Structure 1
Amino acid sequence: MNKSLSTFDVLGLGFMTFAFFLGAGNIIFPPMTGFLAGEHLPSAMAGFLITGVGLPLVTLVAAALAGGGLPTMGRYLPPLVITVMASAIFIIIGPAFAAPRTGLVAYEMSLKPFLTDPGQAALTLYTLGFFGLVLLVSLNQGRLLDAVGKVLTPILLLLLIGLALAVFISPQGTQPPVSEAYLTDPFVKGFIEGYNTMDTFAALIFGMFILDVLRDKGVTDSRTQSRYLMIAALIAAVGLGFVYVSLFILGGTSLGVADSATTGAEIISAYVLSLFGAPGLWILAAIVSLACLTTAVGLVSACADYFHRLTDKLSYRIWVVINALACMLVANVGLDTLITVSVPVLVAFYPVAVALVLATYLRPLMRSPIFSYRLIMAVALAFGIMDGLHAVGLSMSTFALLPMFDIGMAWVLPTCIATVIGLAMPANAVKGKA
């Protein structure tokens, strides 16, 4: 029998979805972008909000319409392609970028501000201890994590609300000058910076998790599930938008407070120190450390569980060890380096996620969905990789005539053309109809 959720349960589902996306790593990018954008902050913030909030929202809605996450949305693609896509997403949000970033953000905001001469040795020891603890908790998947998570998310949210109100009421600095990167096309620069949240990738996976939660609560009707998932996505989007806007304003009023900062973590730490003094810095350190820990445990556990089910040769615990060790090693490159390395990868593969969401929305208009999906995804991947290679610094002058090539979005026009071709393709043009 299909059950309905109470208003309290719906709100709880929305806040749970918000907590899924609100990793502590996400907190570091808006302040840095706001600091660098200067007087162009509104344009850069608008671009960032599209990829940092808008894309995850429409991705979850697409998952709701499709009745599931990545496997359901990509059902017109070959099974091997879906497996490769899922593996790539888990690697990106796992040991390659997102999970190591949690340890680095925890270090930057909970230990580094208290060190007089922080060096590589301090980072190595911290990441060894941090991911060692992640390893122990992930191995047992105990109730401790659930308890900490239920207490932590409201506390972190209250802290962010308090920080946001303080920023609006009592800004601590003035507006920084515009950096060179934001002099031209600040909107597009902010749009690409929003890739760093990796939340569109995560939304392809979270859709499945949220539907599982709804089934556990007795919600079995697909339309009801979709409606609740959409409401949860909207609540999460509003929460993320509030957090991002306040942190943008924080970064945009930090001249004189964090002039020498090179990361968003340093900007927030300096701002909190200026607002609340040393006690505020200690509280921020404790909360961010716990937030990073729970996020890291969730990512390591999810990756280990996925690859265990995919290979069925190595046990879950062995995959936990592999993932935790990989995270510790990657984290030692430092936050600046990790962000720099991740940008070309995200520029290359974000278009694929966007193309999949676009195809999902347009599916009712497709007469030959198998051909259309494969064409759209192939074009988005090919030109996304080209943009990624360009972001690395390789010469791609052959494609310089493409619109938006110089700003890392050459994939847009070819993908739109492929979409039009896919929509125009008759049903009997290729073998196999869905």
Structure 2
Amino acid sequence: MKKDTVIIGFMLFALFFGAGNLIYPPTLGIESGTSYWAAIAGFVITGVGLPILAVTAISSVKNDARELADRVHPLFGAVFTSVVYLAIGPFFGIPRAATVAFEMSLEPFTSASPFILFLFTTIFFLFVYIVSINPSKMVDRIGQFLTPLLLLAIVILCIGGFFLLDSSVQQPGEKYAQSPLFTGFVEGYLTMDAIAALAFGIIVVQAFKDRGISSRKHLVQSTLKAGLIAGVGLISVYASMGWIGTKMASAGSFANGGDILSGAADVMFGSFGAMLLGIIVGLACFTTSTGLVVASGQFFHKLTGYPYKRIAAMVTIASYLIANQGLNTIISVSVPVLTFIYPIAIVLILMTFLERLFGGSANVYRGAILMTGFVSLYDGLIEFGVSMPAVTAMMEHLPFFSFGLGWIVPALIGGLVGYLIKSTRHHPIPDKELL
């Protein structure tokens, strides 16, 4: 395997491995207990499998994620893709990474005052902008230097988890008692990696193009290889971090996954553990934030024609301002939005690989996305706290609704109706429009 593919694969791992990747697997582990392996399998499907598919899907088109969404309708493509980039970028993804980095790397040694958060985020985002201002050099900076250091710190922590934590695994909590696989699947939404992959795809493709790969076939093959490298790393880390969580169930109660990891690091390594965890969190959140600034900057530069460096500066400043609102505020708003857009992104990604079955018909795309959107909008409003008892009474009849996957059957029905309309009109999209 070529050195460039390995370096880009390492970069992709570092871009994916951010705040959510750190805090959610330990929580899953501590809550799932003896049902851990089924739960982590579901988590890996949405946290690793779908992101790799999404990156590969981007490599199969000429431009970026908007080209995939345009297959529904150009207006939908512009709006939905913009919402995705804003969600994973300046509104939620980047600020969450910065605040998690503060709470797990610096806060244990200082206080939780807004002024300390202000100082930390000022320095954090200054370096994020410096690295992101030149995207071509970012690949080497992250892939060659930061990722190996990040992996080394993670390996030390994970080895300690397997050999230095000897508590027995507890019974699963209520959340994972019945359907751990499906519950883990939905929990994988919170990493944001499947929708982040729609943004990171353009970085990976451009990195390969900068290295002389131009044919679509070779781009897809190289992207898939880099994705597999990143995927193996992510699965290994998720499984290890989650296993640490299972071993910490008897150590007391914890507020979140960050607390679980902090407690485990202290049990295993004492004060050195806090420093080690700080290195992991700082590097993970920094690389992810940098990648998201670059991806957002490149997308909105293409969309608007505005200079990349100015857009990158605006994304950085907006992220900086929102990060100073605190992690709890960011999470409380981001979860409902992710609940709404994630199923739509999943259906769009999967249909990209299945479109040969229906000739790439826009009607099939529209039917599936429309029906998915109805259900995911309901789920998002419920997460926001909107009460809709009459609608809920109807939604409860949907298969898989209790697992948070009520959108699956409506998506299939919508796609089928679109296919029937296509067959009736005999008007498939010409092959040249699919390229």
TM-score bracket, shorter-length normalisation: 0.7 to 0.9
Corresponding residue for residue 229 of structure 1 = 223
What is the distance in 2 between the residues matched to 1:407 and 1:200? 19
Corresponding residue for residue 323 of structure 2 = 331
Task: Sort the Cα spacing of 1:328 and 1:66 in 2 relative to 1 into closer, same or farther, 3 A.
Answer: closer
Corresponding residue for residue 264 of structure 1 = 257
What is the distance in 2 between the residues matched to 1:390 and 1:19? 33
Q: Structure 2 length as normaliser, TM-score? A: 0.88
1:149 and 1:294 in contact (8 A); partners too? no
Q: Secondary structure at the match of 2:370?
A: helix
The residue correspondences of 1:28-427 to structure 2 (distance < 5 A) are 28-66=23-61, 69-115=64-110, 118-135=112-129, 138=132, 146-147=140-141, 150-171=144-165, 173-176=167-170, 178-257=172-251, 259-312=252-305, 315-367=307-359, 369-397=361-389, 398=391, 399=394, 400-427=396-423
Q: Give deviations 1:15-71, integer Å, cap 9, x for gaps.
A: 233223222442111011211222332232122111101211222343445566423
Task: Sort the Cα spacing of 1:229 and 1:136 in 2 relative to 1 into closer, same or farther, 3 A.
Answer: closer
How big is the shift at 1:239? 1.2
How big is the shift at 1:256? 4.6
What is the distance in 1 between the residues matched to 2:220 and 2:134? 33
97-106 or 330-339: bigger deviation:
330-339
What is the distance in 2 between the residues matched to 1:403 and 1:282? 47
1:37 and 1:252 in contact (8 A); partners too? yes
What is the distance in 2 between the residues matched to 1:144 and 1:386? 39
Task: Sort the Cα spacing of 1:12 and 1:177 in 2 relative to 1 into closer, same or farther, 3 A.
Answer: same
Corresponding residue for residue 3 of structure 1 = none
- AA in 2 matched with 1:278: S
Task: Sort the Cα spacing of 1:43 and 1:392 in 2 relative to 1 into closer, same or farther, 3 A.
Answer: farther
Percent same amino acid among aligned pairs? Answer: 37
Q: Structure 1 length as normaliser, TM-score? A: 0.88
Give structure 1 stretches of 5+ with no counterpart.
1-5
Task: Sort the Cα spacing of 1:256 and 1:76 in 2 relative to 1 into closer, same or farther, 3 A.
Answer: closer
What is the distance in 2 between the residues matched to 1:142 and 1:431? 42
What is the distance in 2 between the residues matched to 1:326 and 1:299? 13
Task: Sort the Cα spacing of 1:102 and 1:304 in 2 relative to 1 into closer, same or farther, 3 A.
Answer: same
- AA in 2 matched with 1:130: F
How big is the shift at 1:200? 0.8
Counting matched residue pairs gives 426
How big is the shift at 1:132? 4.4
What is the distance in 1 between the residues matched to 2:171 and 2:281? 29
Task: Sort the Cα spacing of 1:287 and 1:245 in 2 relative to 1 into closer, same or farther, 3 A.
Answer: closer
Task: Sort the Cα spacing of 1:89 and 1:110 in 2 relative to 1 into closer, same or farther, 3 A.
Answer: same
Which structure 1 residue ranges, 4+ long, deviate > 6 Å from structure 2? none
Task: Sort the Cα spacing of 1:228 and 1:139 in 2 relative to 1 into closer, same or farther, 3 A.
Answer: closer
- AA in 1 matched with 2:403: I
How big is the shift at 1:243? 0.6
Give structure 2 stretches of 5+ with no counterpart.
431-435
Task: Sort the Cα spacing of 1:140 and 1:242 in 2 relative to 1 into closer, same or farther, 3 A.
Answer: closer
- AA in 2 matched with 1:245: A
337-346 or 170-179: bigger deviation:
170-179
How big is the shift at 1:244? 0.4
How big is the shift at 1:364? 0.9
2:10 and 2:229 in contact (8 A); partners too? yes
Q: Give deviations 1:98-138, integer Å, cap 9, x for gaps.
A: 101111111121112223x5344443443344334434555
Task: Sort the Cα spacing of 1:270 and 1:218 in 2 relative to 1 into closer, same or farther, 3 A.
Answer: same
Q: Give deviations 1:288-315, integer Å, cap 9, x for gaps.
A: 32332333233224323433443345x5
What is the distance in 1 between the residues matched to 2:260 and 2:163? 18
Q: Give deviations 1:338-373, integer Å, cap 9, x for gaps.
A: 333322211111111111122212211114612111
Task: Sort the Cα spacing of 1:134 and 1:65 in 2 relative to 1 into closer, same or farther, 3 A.
Answer: closer
How big is the shift at 1:425? 4.2
Task: Sort the Cα spacing of 1:151 and 1:396 in 2 relative to 1 into closer, same or farther, 3 A.
Answer: same
What is the distance in 1 between the residues matched to 2:177 and 2:319? 35
1:368 and 1:422 in contact (8 A); partners too? no
How big is the shift at 1:93? 1.0
Task: Sort the Cα spacing of 1:138 and 1:273 in 2 relative to 1 into closer, same or farther, 3 A.
Answer: same
Aligned-residue Cα RMSD (Å) equals: 2.8
Corresponding residue for residue 433 of structure 2 = none
How big is the shift at 1:424? 4.0
